[in-house]
A = this chain, B = another copy of it.
Amino acid sequence: MSTIVVVGSGMMGSALAVPLCENGHHVRLVGSPLDREIVEHGRKTNEHLTMKRMMPENVSWYYIEEVKEAMEGADLYINGVSSFGLDWFIQEMLPQIPEDLPVLSVTKGMVNYPDGSLKSYPEIFEESTEKKISFNAIGGPCTSYELADKDFTEVTFCGRDMTTLRWIKSLFETEYYNISLSTDVRGVECAVAMKNAYALGVSLAVGMSYKREGKEFEHYNSQAALFGQSVMEMIHLLELCGGDASNIRLLSGDLYVTVFGGRTRKIGTLLGTGMNFQEAMERLSGVTLESIVIATRTAEAIRALIANGKVKAEDFPLLLHVDELINQGKTVNVPWKAFEYELEK
């Protein structure tokens, strides 16, 4: 049996304890500096405070001051912080991770550079240390609470080395947690990141229906139109990132699950009713939205590539509209006609 240390005891990092513990492994859940209440509550009750689920018996809880102790003898380090904790992980945690402790990261997103290039987090981690740590990451459609509830789930673990990936998979795999493996890190992470921006885009149609009907009633033609357009634009983006085309599976499934869950759908729906971004964010006061950061970064990268003449604005009408909503104070006005195409075969 192995020992896995999870640093960052948010919902996704913690949910991973469910399949791990089912396989008999011991999980040490370490709260980040933002997770003190989660650890305090967990130590008393073994319930996860924000996920509102009892954790398996072979979970132990640690405060961040105890992270060294938690890492002792661990076989795998799970980086459970969100992309807002990226700098903290690089500056505070990375120096403490020994070279022979592989890392599996749940952090979603990519970072954009002024030339329009996008880089995945595992790549950034590699560049941030001289140690030869094995950095791996999880992609694919998976909400934390449904994993904790043992719903059937298909994810992809990515990293540079297939042998390491197979070993990590062996720790996690259960009847309900199904794991594909990919050495296409850029492709998997690009897919994971982008679907946030587009889930917001598809959700605009939900808000538009609500407004038109004056109640919570959904139309699916318009959602489907935005879904199809999203898939087309994401395939373009995947090519631009240098990712393999087969990541379309992750892209489409992940977009699907994100449209149905949580905060990204909420902000998209509010924007769809005609609110501007400031009004919508006030409605969701206190909520942190990775999707906003990710959409903005992706749009910034695309705008840089358009400026350099490397891509055409007309290939990304939906992403650019989402960016207008988030960053330019505009209200919803989906460019439906820009989605039309002519294909001569």
The verdict on A141 contacting B224 (CB below 8 Å), with A178-B336, A205-B152 known, is: yes
Contact of A227 with B244 in the complex, beta carbons under 8 Å = no
The verdict on A232 contacting B248 (CB below 8 Å), with A154-B225, A256-B256 known, is: yes
Is the C-beta of A88 less than 8 angstroms from some C-beta in chain B? no
Q: Which residues of the other chain, B, contact A147 by a CB distance below 8 angstroms?
A: 221
Is the C-beta of A231 less than 8 angstroms from some C-beta in chain B? yes
Contact of A228 with B343 in the complex, beta carbons under 8 Å = no
Is the C-beta of A151 less than 8 angstroms from some C-beta in chain B? yes
Number of interface residues of A (CB under 8 A): 61
Name A residues whose Cβ lies closer than 8 Å to a Cβ of B: 140-143, 146-147, 149, 151-154, 162, 175-176, 178-184, 187, 205, 208-209, 218-225, 227-229, 231-232, 235, 244, 246, 248-250, 252-254, 256-257, 260-261, 334, 336-337, 339-345
Contact of A178 with B340 in the complex, beta carbons under 8 Å = yes
Smallest beta-carbon distance A251→chain B, Å: 8
Instruction: Output the residue of A232, A343, A344 with the most chain B CB within 10 A.
Output: A343
Interchain CB contact (< 8 A) of A153 among B187, B225, B248? B225
7 A-B pairs with CB atoms under 8 Å apart are A143-B220, A146-B221, A151-B222, A176-B336, A187-B345, A223-B256, A231-B253
